Amino acid sequence: MNDKPSNNQPIVSHNQRILAEINALVALQKMRRGPQQSPAHQLMQAVEEAICDARQRCDEMAASGQAGSSEFQDLCGKIARWSEVRRLNR
């Protein structure tokens, strides 16, 4: 067989071949990771989790009779601020 490319086949250099392999591997990695959420969406998800955790803590404090404590009031204030941030950024 002749190792020279025919007239209608493009000549691909060694570096071009390696670059194509790298690009293919990067594309596979991106595909395996699946869709990526935007940083803003990730932040809002974290705010939502913080609100849920704080509400659960408030419920626990209220059930244990700590509803009048300054810690309980501070936590309620945080929940209100975080809920406002979430509402404004939807």
Radius of gyration of the chain (CA): 28
Interatomic CA distance for residues 24 and 17, integer angstroms: 11
Instruction: Write b or e for each residue in 39-57: b if 16 or more Cβ atoms lie within 10 A of its Cβ, otherwise e.
Output: eeeeebeeeeeebeebeee
pLDDT in tens, the chain (90 residues): 455 555 666 677 888 889 889 999 998 888 887 777 788 888 899 999 999 999 999 999 999 999 889 999 999 999 999 999 889 887
Can you give the pTM of this predicted structure?
0.58
Interatomic CA distance for residues 90 and 83, integer angstroms: 11
Give the pLDDT score at 29: 87
Give the pLDDT score at 33: 79
